[in-house]
Structure 1
């Protein structure tokens, strides 16, 4: 829980070395300002950063692992290792486990969130990463599929451009890095609001978070979330929902959801995860 006294929520550069969990909507800028990647690099220690890249979600782990290795190397990281786990036994590799014990940042790449979970969920490597991230001993970032796995419940697939309905979303179990949230990514770019609403109808106690491309929801250790990047983060809060027809409908029949709270946050905006309120600058 956080102290509820009034705080200054203007972005503060003095926070740049503090560990955080960065949930990225995908397609983050890798060419120009690299704002989100640079923030992760800074939060991981800057030129003292020891970064592990986990490309397991991708079907081309060599290619994507090398891409992020090069990007963080160009930024000046002290040490970078690609943790290229190809099967669950590989997650017990002592070289990887010892590296994570001493690293300052872990980056989960995009790809297929089901593939990532099937390879790493419940393994020694992922348990170690999650524990260190939750204790804020490292900074952890996940983009696209790496963002989708953050909650205990995970959107694993589905459709878009329809009214909210049961058949619109496929659910699975994520990695429980931030168990209280339900994340969707590439959000407005792929018209996924109805998909997130359909998922939240199934799990109304969770906080729905839809993240646009080249946009990041950064979770701080004071129970606030900060938005970084060129798009928006959509918050769906169903804690005070007064009615749903979820139990009466089937398949693609439309869902009815009353009294939802919706917030749209842009770069620099913060959200108080304890008070469930946006914080203006």
Structure 2
């Protein structure tokens, strides 16, 4: 129940929130555009952490991938296209390589070229601080960040492997010197951890 006073009280003090897997539409139906969704965002503003796995990862983007209540085969579903927006301008899909979802994300990007598409492999997570994503775990994240003005020779996506970082603002992998410089600066305390199991 999205108006549950106990949950609201807990979220007002929470330093972290974890979204489990399942079906994305259930999270939308329960929390989208409710006071609880506002409290989720308040956790981040206070410097807390938001994380999730599978459907709990997908819900964190602006655009909700595979939100159809009738099944997860459809990438887009009218009425179920909004996620919680913890990562503005982003669409997240999971189980990416394992379920061969590259063409799905390419199609989504053609429909919504302004979005950054993130495809997270199983047993892999991404940690986002500000405009930087670090990949951890066993595999990779595919970043679909090609823009309509990019030449046709640009690849549809870039692979970010475990241990690497990607700068969303610069739209590229960070080199070793940039990572060392970033590590020397005070960290942005608010972050999201998104994984695919």
CA distance in 2, matches of 1:136, 1:209: 25
- CA-to-partner distance for each residue in 1:188-217, whole Å, 9 max, x for gaps? 011000111111111111111100011111
Q: Are 2:117 and 1:229 equivalent residues in the alignment?
A: no
Partner of 1:266: 161
Structure 1 residues 127 and 258: alpha-carbon distance in aligned structure 2, compared to 1, 3 A threshold: farther
Partner of 2:12: 101
TM-score by length of 2: 0.78
CA distance in 1, matches of 2:118, 2:168: 12
Partner of 1:127: 38
Q: Are 2:109 and 1:200 equivalent residues in the alignment?
A: yes
Match of 2:26 among 115, 126, 140: 115
CA distance in 2, matches of 1:176, 1:213: 22
CA distance in 2, matches of 1:136, 1:268: 27
CA distance in 1, matches of 2:148, 2:46: 31
**Consecutive unaligned residues in structure 1, runs of 5 or more:** 1-89, 160-167, 244-256
Any conservation in 2 of the 1:241–1:259 contact (CA below 8 Å)? no
Deviation at 1:242, TM superposition (A): 5.5
Deviation at 1:261, TM superposition (A): 4.5
Any conservation in 2 of the 1:240–1:260 contact (CA below 8 Å)? no
CA distance in 2, matches of 1:241, 1:111: 37
When the two chains are superposed, the root-mean-square deviation of aligned CA atoms in Å is 2.0
Partner of 1:49: none
**Consecutive unaligned residues in structure 2, runs of 5 or more:** 177-197
CA distance in 1, matches of 2:171, 2:42: 25
CA distance in 2, matches of 1:241, 1:186: 29
* Aligned ranges 1:166-177 → 2 under 5 Å: 169-171=75-77, 172-177=81-86
